[in-house]
Chain A
Amino acid sequence: MTKLIGQSVKRVEDKRFITGQGQYTDDIVLPGMTYAYILRSPYAHATIKSIDTAAARAMEGVVAVFTGEDIAKAGINGVPTGWQVNFKSGETMKEPPHPLLVADRVKHVGDSLAVVIAESREIAKDAADLIEIDYDVLEAVWNPADAIAADAPQVHEGAPNNICFDWELGNPKAEVDAALAGAHHVTSLDLVNQRMIPNPIEPRSAIGHFESSHDRYTLYTTSQNPHLTRLLMCAFVLGLPEHKVRVVAPDVGGGFGSKIFHYTEEALVIWASGKLGRPVKWTADRSECFTTDAHGRDHVTKAEMGFDKEGNILGLRVKTYANLGAYLSTFAPCVPTWLHGTLLQGVYTTPKINVDVTGVFTHTNAVDAYRGAGRPEATYLLERLLDTAALEMGMDPAELRLQNMIQPFDGVSQPGYMTQVALQYDSGNYQATLHRGLEMVGYEQFRQEQAEARKAGRYLGIGFSTYIEACGIAPSAVVGALGARAGLYEVGQVRVQPTGKVSVFTGAHSHGQGHETTFAQIVADTLGIGMGDVEIIHGDSESVAFGMGTYGSRSLAVGGSAIMKSLDKILEKGAKIAAHKLEAAVEDLDFAEGKWTVKGTDKSIGFGDVALTAYVPHNYPQGVEPGLDFSSFYDPANFTYPFGTHIAIVEVDPQTGKVDLKRFIAVDDVGNVINPMIVEGQIHGGLAQGIGQAMFEGALYDDGGNLINGSYMDYTMPRADDLPSFEVDRLVTPCPHNPLGVKGAGEAGAIGSTPAVVNAVMDALSPLGIFNPSMPMTPESIWRTING
């Protein structure tokens, strides 16, 4: 039988997606359904003097109108935060409430004011137009560096100077200061990692369905994380008994992080459904996606790296102001801290590192994890520093990297690498991906072409990024120590049916990642059965015991490993049944190709026969329970650490500032690979998003705190003709601590690519000076960079 692991098996889920048979939340129509429309604040900061809903209530077809006052009267809490970060002083971070509907003061454009529930979405929307609100518009602040000023408008009463927390990690600052003071050269960069809008193709949607016959609620929602949503909503917001609440995340059309979090609308439709006794559906329009899906990045940073005369890195000092938005989203505090500061070792031997992060409230939509979450921000500043330093010191950027890289280690015979910033890398061979990248790009030849092009007045440039990331989030004890309020294990249940067919229940959630294929490949290979005999079930709290969802490239490393643990238990019990049937000892059996064979004989029994015996245990081993169904909670020993080299080649027209991305090379090492096609697809998608940040995307605000590019007419995302055909390759350094040896591939593309493109533009323009191009590198921005 051909091994399935390692094969580019076509995705089984694509049949329903490409034939239009996917079942998304908004496709679900329940008997008696009502439709909710949420009236949102047009102002970034305003007090509400009065709110008059009489005309809306009077409209024909309107079922109910609720405001912030109704929510407050009902005693409903706001949505909670799942991660706690403390001040340097030890004081707990500021955690202001985030109510489902606001009664007194709106704090960002899109803040929820009232919900109209009607017989149709159109009626609800028209009725919302009739709600009269008298506002007192107040000054707003959107830039995190401005928000901490003494005279800045305050977002929350309990958070002086708009500071949520200040936090540091690494070596004592004095040691890093000394290292930089004694350095031969210090490269210093002021960087803005601009705010990104996630833009999944499917807008967020939620349906609340209360059945009074059973006193039971069902929430259908566009979530990457249905079990955690249930836990947070039941325990912290609505106070509902968890066993009476089912959360279903059916097909979900992309998330990129923005659908991890528990949103106010989810609790609102559940509460309203309970109150009205009818199902309530809410679906965002695209404008609401722009203003209320949690955004990403938004750091203002000063980064300094010191070198000795030979180019050895002596120290790194980073000060970042991280914009958290007006309210703390589910994982917001952890992104600019534990997912960012911990990655500042990069792949380098930097002996002294200090990172200082101030989390800041502003009158903007919440910022939380977006593909890569913290790690792209860390990679961006590190890799920009390396190429800038090379240019400033007249060194080759590839050589400078090789000289400072951590030596290869496999994490088995050699120990993991302890960083200065709290992590222990699992295994790595960082030089190998750079060497392979240089080979693919034809480095020496490119430098000759570049020199000739310069003579001809053309500006060609090359940029590097040798990234590392922490994935497979993570060991519960570690994240707990870092402030997580939940465990981060994963659950995998394998239920062998009496006929030997297999149902697998995973707490990971697929919204584009292809779990139904990858996980089935693992199960089919391990049990020696066909892929068609395996069904992967996810996204329903009723069928899946528990789960922590999909983000942080964790599904295969953690969720896949949980399934592996259950498969081990299935095979162990199966062997006992097989031994009984074959009248042999367990130790004398081999399992291969879907059957147990007595070593050295042709006596064997197939997996299907063993399954049937387990459920029809007439002739059965003593002391063994019937059935063949195991569940496992897998809590890994460490994060996983994928890494790689990304190289961009650009040509810049200094007359117009236009950047032409000519080639993009990506050599990624994500450990073992189950389905190369799916991994390559993930890399391609990530690259497009990372390049999108470098060249096209970014939220823009006016002085009033309005998002001014909140539509597809105004917010640029990369299109196919903006991107070259990617040249990708993979190397394999297995993860030493999980049973599959996998590291995760969902975010690598978005983490590594951004600085490579910016570095390439800097290199292209280097005959004109050493510039620090700001993102997105639109023609206007580059023209201004050159022309001052």
Chain B
Amino acid sequence: MELTGNHDISAAAQTLWNLLMDPDFLARITPGITRMEKISDDNYLAIADVKIGPVKGSFKGEVQITEKQEPEAFTLMVQQKSSIGNVAASVRIRIQELSPEKSNIQFEGKAQLSGLLARTGQRVLSGVANTLSRQFFESLEAEIKQQV
């Protein structure tokens, strides 16, 4: 499954970078994530509950941050396991500063699904992914406004 999108956020690139590197912050604003624990630098354990139509599952696995180019770009490697199937995703995230108050976040990557997750409702999953990413960016924007 292809994952792409972009969103303007009212913050400078370095501000966004700092927030996105903070696991507690990410756990708070990412839809479905219930817990994120640091295993080592740039390597986290994530636990998430996701419901896609009739398919529900508790996911557990690692999230790794690689190919860091502060404050412009990084890659998220996600390996999540659940009883309804596994997810392996690799997403490149780019932050482009448009002005000191505004940046564009763009993401591009692929997710490989398996198990029940792959064979039930996969055709609606990209819609679900879009909804989740929109929720993420809306929460991000709201958090930034609050901090300001």
A residues touching B (Cβ–Cβ < 8 Å)? 42-43, 109, 129, 137, 287, 290-291, 702, 704, 706-711, 713-714
Contact = CB atoms under 8 A, between A and B. Distances in A.
Contacts of B88: 137
A714 B123 contact: yes
A702 B118 contact: yes
Looking at chain B's contact residues, the main secondary structure is: loop
Looking at chain A's contact residues, the main secondary structure is: loop
Interface stretch (B22-30, B65-73, B108-116): B108-116
B114 A714 contact: no
A702 B115 CA distance: 12
B123 A704 contact: no
23 contacts: A42-B85, A42-B116, A42-B118, A109-B115, A109-B119, A287-B119, A287-B120, A290-B119, A291-B119, A704-B113, A704-B114, A704-B118, A706-B114, A706-B115, A706-B122, A707-B119, A708-B119, A708-B122, A709-B123, A710-B120, A711-B121, A714-B119, A714-B123
A159 B123 CA distance: 34
B102 to A, nearest CB: 37
Interface string B100-143: 00000000000011111011111100000000000000000000
Given A42-B85, A129-B83, A287 B116 contact: yes
**Residue in A137, A707, A710 whose Cβ sees the most chain B Cβ within 10 Å:** A710
Contacts of B114: 42-43, 109, 704, 706
Given A713-B53, A713-B54, A708 B83 contact: no
Contacts of B6: none
B75 interface: no
A707 B83 CA distance: 17
A711 B112 contact: no
A708 B118 contact: yes
Contacts of A702: 1, 113, 118, 122
B110 to A, nearest CB: 10
A704 B112 CA distance: 7
**Residue in B53, B85, B115 whose Cβ sees the most chain A Cβ within 10 Å:** B115
A188 B76 CA distance: 49
Nearest to A703: B112
B118 A711 contact: no
Nearest to B58: A129
Contact of A713 (B85, B86, B120): B120
Contacts of A43: 114
A42 B114 CA distance: 5
Contacts of A290: 119
Contacts of B54: 713
Contacts of B122: 702, 706, 708-709, 714
Contacts of B123: 708-709, 714
Contacts of B1: 702
A9 B122 CA distance: 47
Contacts of B53: 713
Contacts of A711: 119-121
A710 B120 CA distance: 6
Nearest to A135: B86
**Residue in B53, B120, B121, B123 whose Cβ sees the most chain A Cβ within 10 Å:** B120
Contacts of A291: 119
Nearest to B113: A706
A292 to B, nearest CB: 12
Nearest to A710: B119
A726 B136 CA distance: 53
A458 B14 CA distance: 61
Contacts of A109: 114-115, 118-119
Nearest to A133: B81
A247 B104 CA distance: 67
Contacts of B119: 109, 287, 290-291, 706-711, 714
B111 to A, nearest CB: 10
Nearest to A137: B88
Given A42-B85, A129-B83, A707 B118 contact: yes
A713 B116 CA distance: 12
A488 B113 CA distance: 44
A220 to B, nearest CB: 28
A195 to B, nearest CB: 14
Nearest to B120: A711
A657 to B, nearest CB: 18
The 3 tightest CB contacts between A and B, nearest first, are A710-B119, A42-B115, A706-B118
A710 B113 CA distance: 13
B74 to A, nearest CB: 24
A708 B121 CA distance: 8
Given A42-B86, A129-B83, A714 B121 contact: yes
Interface in B19-53: 53
**Residue in A42, A290, A704, A711 whose Cβ sees the most chain B Cβ within 10 Å:** A42
A17 to B, nearest CB: 29
**Residue in B85, B121, B122 whose Cβ sees the most chain A Cβ within 10 Å:** B122
Contacts of A704: 112-114, 118
Contacts of B113: 702, 704, 706
Contacts of B112: 704
**Residue in B85, B88, B116 whose Cβ sees the most chain A Cβ within 10 Å:** B116
Contact of B120 (A42, A129, A714): A714
A56 to B, nearest CB: 12
B127 to A, nearest CB: 14
Given A702-B1, A711-B119, A711-B120, 9 more contacts: A42-B116, A287-B116, A704-B118, A707-B118, A709-B119, A710-B120, A713-B54, A713-B120, A714-B123
Contacts of A709: 119, 122-123
A42 B85 CA distance: 6
B27 to A, nearest CB: 24
A700 B1 CA distance: 14
Nearest to B88: A137
**Residue in B83, B113, B114, B119 whose Cβ sees the most chain A Cβ within 10 Å:** B119
A106 to B, nearest CB: 11
A713 B121 CA distance: 7
A287 B55 CA distance: 12
Contacts of B85: 42
**Residue in B86, B112, B114, B116 whose Cβ sees the most chain A Cβ within 10 Å:** B114
A137 B119 CA distance: 18
A157 B112 CA distance: 26
A532 to B, nearest CB: 48
Contacts of A707: 118-119
A621 to B, nearest CB: 68
A137 B121 CA distance: 22
A781 to B, nearest CB: 15
B56 to A, nearest CB: 13
A710 B86 CA distance: 16
Contacts of B86: 42
A714 B123 CA distance: 8
B129 to A, nearest CB: 15
Contacts of A129: 83
B114 to A, nearest CB: 4
A32 B120 CA distance: 35
Nearest to A132: B81
A708 B122 CA distance: 6
Contacts of A713: 53-54, 120-121
A329 B85 CA distance: 26
A129 B115 CA distance: 13
A730 to B, nearest CB: 41
A96 to B, nearest CB: 23
B128 to A, nearest CB: 14
Contacts of A706: 113-115, 118-119, 122
A151 B115 CA distance: 26
Nearest to B112: A704
Interface string B76-101: 00000001011010000000000000
Contacts of B115: 42, 109, 706
